[in-house]
Amino acid sequence: MAPAEYEDLLRKRSRVQDAVQRHAASADAFITLAASGAAPLGLRHTGSRTFQVYGSWLGLPAFTLPILEEMGLPVGVQLLGTAGGDAGLCGIAGWLLSEAAG
């Protein structure tokens, strides 16, 4: 990758980070699936990491909570916070886990 391409990617990431901050003003967290479905049977592969890439790319705190189920296998819900919002997101994750437990 050429230095100019890398710098362009950094600018794009910065724009998306700014958009996340703007939207975060009206939300406590962002929620999505952690994967496109349940993990496959067996231990060879844990499943898709498609949705988890974005939190890492943006440098956001994230929790994956196995509170859903598909075909008897857990499906994770992913919570994303804002940069520096780790403690608040931890509280939200704890609340969601307690609500899911009933």
* Nearest in space to 74 (alpha carbons), one of 82, 64, 86: 64
Query: What are the pLDDT digits (tens) for 33-44?
Result: 888 777 777 767
Query: What are the pLDDT digits (tens) for 76-88?
Result: 899 999 888 999 9
The count of structural domains within the chain is: 1
Q: Does the reported pTM lie above 0.75?
A: yes
DSSP code string of 21-52 = HHHHTT-S-EEEESSSSPPPSSSS-----TTH
Residues with Cβ within 8 Å of 86's Cβ and at least 6 positions away in sequence, in order, are 61
Query: Domain span at residue 17?
Result: 3-101
